[in-house]
């Protein structure tokens, strides 16, 4: 009997609707090919359009609704008509923090057939996994604005707890061990942030002592951004706070072909009963929304990541291999990768490749 998975699909805003549709086509093709898995896909029209009609990004009982699913597949959020902090704190952050999806996974891999802007990267290869702390850090809504006129001030407080730091650093170390990776780099700024980041450093050293087989290093975020471009081969697994990982995952995506190739997933490794949130790193790209020229591969790779987290490793690998072959053939690709094909053409090519396996 086929294993059935209930997936909440939130296409969201802009190109999110377009790229998610390609990921869904790949999931349906996998279902047809394997016969051992089935997907029950339930769509939710949440996002900026929903906000403009109802004054909120999702209903008040949105988390209760999503809790009934095994995974959440999201396209993108963001609309010029809605302030960015409203979209972020109205949908993504409530889902991540509401379900305690503290582990964010954002791999950056240089596929054969993709040219990196980094000189000699194709010969040396780039394979970096950024692991992001999702539940606290700099994105906690702690602070406020006070006063008026010239006395107006804003306070934004970052939150770091022993539990939060320890569990994400432990997960990064366990991930490195399970994937046979050699090094974990902690990103910090403890020379300037003398409380939160010094605390992060102390927890990192404590956790690292429990994984003696893994090389560890601690690097300042500014130096890390410099070195990611200068010598990306020096990085393996990166673990960082909410803000620093957000920045570095965009940078690592840029050196492997751009945000159109960047998958992302957030989940709770300690409680698999909670639905993970899977969304590509890129935003809604309103400047090209509706033109069907966006690169869907980040969303497709995100679907592969979702399958892996659900335990469907064969299905996940098939989609990953299809993306790899598409890029390696260099025939059907979107403009951001130097091609002339549209979003739907890339989707059709992926289905063709999947059916050839």
Q: What is the largest CA-CA distance in the chain?
A: 68
pLDDT at 42 over 90: yes
- Domain positions in the chain are 1-104+259-357, 116-256
Q: In whole angstroms, what is the distance from residue 62 CA to residue 101 CA?
A: 16
pLDDT, mean of residues 272-290: 94
Token code pair at residue 119: 């000189």
- 191: which DSSP letter? T
* CA distances (Å), origin 331, targets 104, 128, 211, 334: 32, 26, 44, 10
The predicted structure's pLDDT at residue 188: 97
Q: In whole angstroms, what is the distance from residue 118 CA to residue 255 CA?
A: 6
The predicted structure's pLDDT at residue 70: 97
The predicted structure's pLDDT at residue 141: 86
How confident is the model over 247-279, as pLDDT tens digits? 999 999 999 999 999 999 999 999 988 999 999
The CATH fold of domain 116-256: Isopropylmalate Dehydrogenase (3.40.718)
* CA distances (Å), origin 12, targets 51, 64, 143, 147, 293: 11, 19, 28, 36, 17
Q: Give the relative orientation of helices 196-208 and 162-178 as an angle to the nearest 10 degrees.
A: 40
pLDDT at 14 over 80: yes
pLDDT at 149 over 80: no
Q: In whole angstroms, what is the distance from residue 354 CA to residue 340 CA?
A: 22
Q: In whole angstroms, what is the distance from residue 64 CA to residue 271 CA?
A: 17
Q: In whole angstroms, what is the distance from residue 41 CA to residue 132 CA?
A: 27
Q: In whole angstroms, what is the distance from residue 237 CA to residue 60 CA?
A: 37
Cα atoms in the Cβ-side hemisphere of radius 13 Å centred on 177? 12
How confident is the model over 57-66, as pLDDT tens digits? 999 999 999 9
The total number of residues shown for the chain amounts to 357
Average per-residue pLDDT for the chain: 95
116-256: same fold as 1-104+259-357?
Answer: yes
Q: In whole angstroms, what is the distance from residue 8 CA to residue 47 CA?
A: 14
The predicted structure's pLDDT at residue 202: 98
pLDDT, mean of residues 286-304: 97
pLDDT at 123 over 80: no
Residue 64 near residue 58, CB atoms below 8 Å: no
pLDDT, mean of residues 96-118: 95
Residue 224: Cβ within 10 Å count: 25
How confident is the model over 212-230, as pLDDT tens digits? 999 999 999 999 999 999 9
pLDDT at 91 over 80: yes
The predicted structure's pLDDT at residue 2: 84
Instruction: Please state which of the four CATH numbers 3.90.226.10, 3.90.1720.10, 3.40.718.10, 3.40.50.12140 is assigned to the domain occupying 1-104+259-357.
Output: 3.40.718.10
How confident is the model over 168-227, as pLDDT tens digits? 999 999 999 999 999 999 999 999 999 999 999 999 999 999 999 999 999 999 999 999
Token code pair at residue 101: 């999806």
pTM: 0.95
């Amino acid at each position: 009997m086929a294993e059935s998975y209930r997936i909440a699909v939130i296409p969201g805003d802009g190109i999110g609707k377009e790229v998610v549709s390609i990921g869904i086509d790949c999931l349906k093709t996998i279902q047809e090919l394997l016969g051992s898995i089935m997907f029950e896909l339930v769509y939710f029209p949440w996002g900026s359009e929903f906000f403009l009609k109802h004054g909120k990004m999702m209903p008040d009982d949105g988390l209760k609704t999503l809790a009934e699913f095994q995974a959440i597949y999201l396209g993108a959020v963001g609309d010029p008509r809605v302030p960015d902090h409203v979209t972020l704190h109205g949908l993504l952050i409530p889902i991540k923090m509401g379900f305690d999806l503290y582990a964010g996974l954002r791999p950056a891999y240089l596929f054969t057939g993709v040219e990196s802007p980094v000189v000699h990267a194709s010969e040396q290869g780039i394979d970096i996994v950024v692991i992001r702390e999702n539940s606290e850090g700099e994105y906690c809504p702690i602070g406020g604005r006070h006063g008026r006129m010239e006395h107006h001030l804003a306070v934004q407080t970052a939150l770091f707890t022993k539990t939060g730091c320890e569990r994400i650093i432990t997960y990064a170390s366990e991930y490195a061990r399970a994937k046979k990776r050699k090094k974990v780099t902690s990103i910090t700024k403890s020379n300037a942030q003398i409380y939160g980041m010094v605390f992060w450093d102390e927890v990192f050293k404590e956790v690292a002592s429990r994984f003696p087989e893994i090389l560890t290093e601690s690097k300042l975020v500014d130096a890390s951004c410099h070195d990611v471009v200068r010598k990306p081969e020096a990085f393996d697994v990166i673990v960082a706070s909410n803000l620093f990982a957000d920045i570095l995952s965009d940078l690592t995506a840029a050196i492997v072909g751009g945000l159109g190739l960047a998958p992302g997933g957030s989940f709770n490794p300690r409680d698999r009963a909670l639905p993970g949130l899977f969304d590509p790193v890129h935003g809604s790209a309103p400047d090209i929304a509706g033109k069907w020229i966006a690169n869907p591969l980040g969303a497709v790779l995100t679907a592969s990541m979702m399958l892996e987290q659900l335990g469907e490793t064969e299905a996940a690998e098939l989609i990953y291999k299809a993306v790899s072959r598409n890029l390696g053939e260099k025939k059907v690709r979107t403009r951001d990768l130097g091609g002339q094909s549209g979003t739907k053409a890339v989707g059709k090519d992926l289905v063709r490749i999947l059916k050839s396996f």
